[in-house]
Amino acid sequence: MLANITEAMRRGDYAAALNTARDLVAAEPDNAAAQHLLGICLRHSGDLSGSRVALERAIALSPDQSALYFSLASLDLAQGNPEAAQAGLKQSLQLDPNQLGAYVTLIHLAMAARDLDEAERNLRLAQRVNADHPQVIIAEGYLAQARGNPDLALRCFTVAVQADPNLHEAQAALGKAYLSRDMWSFAEQAFSNALRLDPTRSLATLRALAQARRKQGDVEGTLEVLGEMIQRNPADLTVRGVRGELLAASGRALQALDDYLPMLDQHPDHVVTLGFAVMILAENDRLDEALARTETALARSPTADELWMLRLNISGRLHEDAKALLDRWHEANPASAACIEMIANYFLARGDMAQAEAWADRALALKPLLYVSGMIKIQARLADEPEKALAQADQMLAGTAAGNTDVLRALNGWAGMALDLMGRYDEAAERWRRVIALPGNQLPPPLQVPAQFAAPGEIDGILVWAPAGVRAEAVLGSLVNPLGSRLRLDRLGDQAPGDGFGMVRWPPGDAEAGTADTWTQGVIAAGRVPAEVVDFLPHLDGYTLASLRGARVLALLADPRDALLNWMVHGSVQEFVVAPEAAMAADWLAASLEALADHRDAHPDKVVLARLDGDAAQAAAAIETLLGLTEPLVALQGDASQFPAGHWRNYAGQFTEAFARLAPVAVRLGYPLS
């Protein structure tokens, strides 16, 4: 019967093995080998206490058997008692110095304790017993990995798999090595092999397989593995969370909710899960449920700032009074710097700078490097006390990590503005050079494509364009009501219009490249009449003007050198990132303006230049006439931050090369040379 038990265990049929072992022990209770196998089977079935009873009985019957102590040590490990396990393994080795499994287990215990020298010592002892055994080779690989030698580790695991392709531990180790090298498909194959060979289908291996599949973009394969893990362990909220995230990202938000809501039933104030669930509930007209679950979470954790932020998001959707909610938050957690900063930001948005600054001071007293509060202080002091604004910016810069480029860009930008107001133009220019040298998260400007690459075609309609750095927001806003559906501003949004003339451009000849036909089809598809449309283009070059020949063009201009300075410091309507060097940005800007000037010279009846930095009445009249407006424009200049006209001259010495590249086209467009 012992052979029947071991054969059943070999093929992974532990249920049959357990039944046979129980029958044998019932028939022969003093059979140490039977008690030993019963203990192993009970351990695999999850009955750890029963396993211990059987193994201790086996040892009592045959105290000189090394394998019995090894099995009991393995049970100690399973029950989280490494000290007892280590003692049992040493006892096993005293009885049999060639007990290979004991050495291998001691190697792994030493590595877990970060004692690599002890692990090395036990590896050498194991190699004296059998250096070619796959388990010994696997242990050598793990030790090499721990010592920072991934190449040796991979070689060891490969050799172990070659020595015994049916050893699931070898396949799993090889999969981990591939995973660490981002070799996702190889890792997937190795983990699949390990699971096929492992009758227990280890949860750790399943988790690794899910990672390998997810890294390859195999959503369905990943969901399959996660489903098995959840079936095995329904209480694993981490796995449920990952599955929910995958389902939501693949357009199955309501299925994701089926994972998130049971998680929240167990842990109502789990912020990450609640955040996902609230978003899905809100987008599926279940705001009441989103609100109820968030309030339940707040009742359990009233001082959790993250929960209050979620509650504020719901408040916006419900059009509630944000101040009332902020007051609740502040009452629940008066020491919350995040709450105090949100109140400061609330007053800033309403133009109450005095209150905004007062609350910002309170927030900064708690956390001196809070970004929003610090920015409020800079803005509050900039106009009247630029030296204090500069000090605030520099204090924040000193505490900002080098990798936080968005914050570094913003703070250097504000510091430069303070220096500008103090007339310290050399220092201001240096700060702005730092700004553009740091990578930004905006879109890069499209390539400048010459007219000769344009396909033949012609359109009706009016094109409107403002160079990067010309703050045309007020003009565009003033056109919304009088033009109504004739005005097209959708190219500035996140969704590309699909005709090839959006924020992102495609090279000539590409299927996505813009042509007269794609423009006309797009206008008609949007329910507009091509001859009546007024289309704001984020980018203009020779290719655009030649592709859309026949259109009338309205250019909203400023001195190109002022435009460059404003673009570097204040940004642009298009939110294009500035090149890392001012001269490079100037070259790009000059190319657009030269294309405009060339088109104006060739088609003077088709181009209107409205200089927003010149005679306001004259610019407004030009715009009103071209667009056929019956009422005067509301505004040419709005609240967008920009320097006064001609401010570039203060930086003629600091950006000499960049301004020199723009001077010829500035003259062509009617601006003075200097």
Give DSSP secondary structure letters for 296-336: HHHHH-TT-HHHHHHHHHHHHHHT--HHHHHHHHHHH-TT-
pLDDT digits (tens, 9 = 90+) for 182-235: 999 999 999 999 999 988 889 999 999 999 999 999 999 999 999 999 998 888
Sign of the CA dihedral running 624, 628, 630, 635: negative
Q: Which of 503-507, 586-590, 650-654 has the lowest mean pLDDT?
A: 503-507
Query: How far apart, in whole angstroms, are the C-alpha atoms of residue 277 and residue 271?
Result: 10
What's the mean per-residue pLDDT of the chain? 93
Q: What is the pLDDT of residue 672?
A: 96
Which one-letter DSSP state was computed for residue 554? E
- Find the length of the chain: 674
pLDDT of residue 527: 87
pLDDT at 80: 87
Confidence band for 337, pLDDT divided at 50, 70 and 90: very high
Number of H helices, E strands in the chain: 33, 5
In this predicted model, what pLDDT tens digit does every residue of 57-83 receive, in sequence order? 999 999 999 999 899 998 888 888 889
Average pLDDT over residues 14-25: 89
Residue 596 pLDDT > 90: yes
Model confidence band, residue 646 (pLDDT cutoffs 50, 70, 90): very high
Check whether 572 has a pLDDT greater than 90.
Answer: yes
Helix ranges, 11-81 (H): 14-27, 32-45, 48-61, 66-78
Which amino acid appears at position 212 of this protein? A
Q: Provide the residue ranges of all domains of the chain, joining segments of one domain with +.
A: 2-229, 231-437, 451-668
Structural element, H or E, at residue 608: strand 607-611
pLDDT of residue 552: 97
pLDDT bucket at 610, cuts 50 / 70 / 90: very high
Q: In this structure, which CATH number among 3.55.50, 1.10.238, 3.40.50, 3.30.420 belongs to the domain 451-668?
A: 3.40.50
Q: Single out the residue of 324, 326, 328 nearest to residue 341, CA to CA.
A: 326
- Cα(404)–Cα(322) distance, rounded to whole angstroms? 30
| Encoded tokens for 572 | 């642009």
Cα 142 from Cα 119, distance rounded (Å):
10
Q: What is the pLDDT of residue 193?
A: 96
Q: Poorest-confidence range of 5-14, 33-42, 428-437?
A: 5-14
**How many CB atoms neighbour CB 130 within 10 A?**
14
Map residue 535 onto helix, strand or coil: strand
What are residue 514's phi and psi, to 5 degrees? -80, 145
Query: Cα–Cα–Cα angle for 430, 434, 439, nearest 5°?
Result: 160
Residue 121 has pLDDT above 90, yes or no: yes
1 pLDDT above the threshold of 80: no
Q: Is-same-fold flag (231-437; 451-668)?
A: no
For residue range 131-158, list pLDDT tens digits in order: 999 999 999 999 999 999 999 999 999 9
Q: Average pLDDT in the 489-512 region?
A: 88
Coil vs helix vs strand at 103: helix
Q: In what order do the strands lie in the sheet with 487-488?
A: 487-488, 534-537, 462-465, 552-557, 607-611
CB 293 within 8 A of CB 301: no
Query: What local confidence, expressed as pLDDT, does residue 168 receive?
Result: 94
Q: What is the pLDDT of residue 46?
A: 85
In this prediction, residues 307-316 reach a mean pLDDT of 93
In the numeric block, which tokens belong to residue 102?
């004991």
- Helical packing angle, 237-249 and 271-283, nearest 10°: 30
Residue 637, pLDDT above cutoff 80: no
What distance in Å separates the CA atoms of residue 363 and residue 366, rounded to the nearest whole number? 5
pLDDT score of 562:
97
pLDDT average, residue stretch 316-338: 93
Using the predicted structure, report yes or no on whether residue 636 has a pLDDT greater than 90: no
What is the band of 402 on the pLDDT scale with cuts at 50, 70, 90? confident
Task: Using the predicted structure, report yes or no on whether residue 281 has a pLDDT greater than 80.
Answer: yes
Burial 582-603 (b: 16+ CB within 10 A, else e): bbebbebbbbbbbbbbbbbeee
Is the pLDDT at 342 greater than 80? The verdict is yes
CB burial readout 233-272, b (16+ within 10 A) else e = eeeebebbbbbbbbbbeeeebebbbebbbebbeeebbbbe
Task: From 280, 608, 287, 668, select the one nearest 475 (Cα to Cα).
Answer: 608
Alpha-carbon gap, residue 639 to 636, rounded angstroms: 10
Q: Is the pLDDT of residue 412 over 90?
A: yes
Looking at residue 5, what is its pLDDT?
A: 86
DSSP at 576? B
Q: Are strands 487-488 and 462-465 parallel, antiparallel or unpaired?
A: unpaired
Q: Whole-angstrom Cα distance, residue 146 to residue 220?
A: 34
Return the pLDDT at 456.
86
Give the C-alpha separation, 459 to 530, whole Å.
Answer: 7
What are the beta bridge partners of residue 534?
462, 487
Residue 136, amino acid: V
Is 14's pLDDT higher than 80? yes
Structure confidence by residue, pLDDT tens digits, 512-567 = 999 999 999 999 998 899 999 999 999 999 999 999 999 999 999 999 999 999 99
Confidence of residue 12 (pLDDT cuts 50, 70, 90): confident
CA 92 to CA 100: how far, in whole Å? 10
Residue 638 has pLDDT above 80, yes or no: no
> Of 375, 440, 362, which Cα lies nearest the Cα of 404?
440
The rounded percent of the chain whose pLDDT value lies above 70 is 99
**Residue 510: which residues within 8 A CB-CB, separation 6 or more?**
none
CATH of 2-229, one of 1.25.40.10, 3.40.50.2300, 3.40.50.300, 1.10.8.60: 1.25.40.10
Q: What is the pTM of this model?
A: 0.67
The whole-number average pLDDT for the span 6-25 is 87
CATH class for the domain made up of 231-437: mainly alpha
Averaged pLDDT, 644-657:
96
The tokens of 492 are what?
């500035």
pLDDT at 639 over 80: no
Please report which confidence band the pLDDT of residue 475 belongs to, taking 50, 70 and 90 as the band edges: very high
Q: Which of 613, 603, 602 is nearest to 666 (CA)?
A: 613
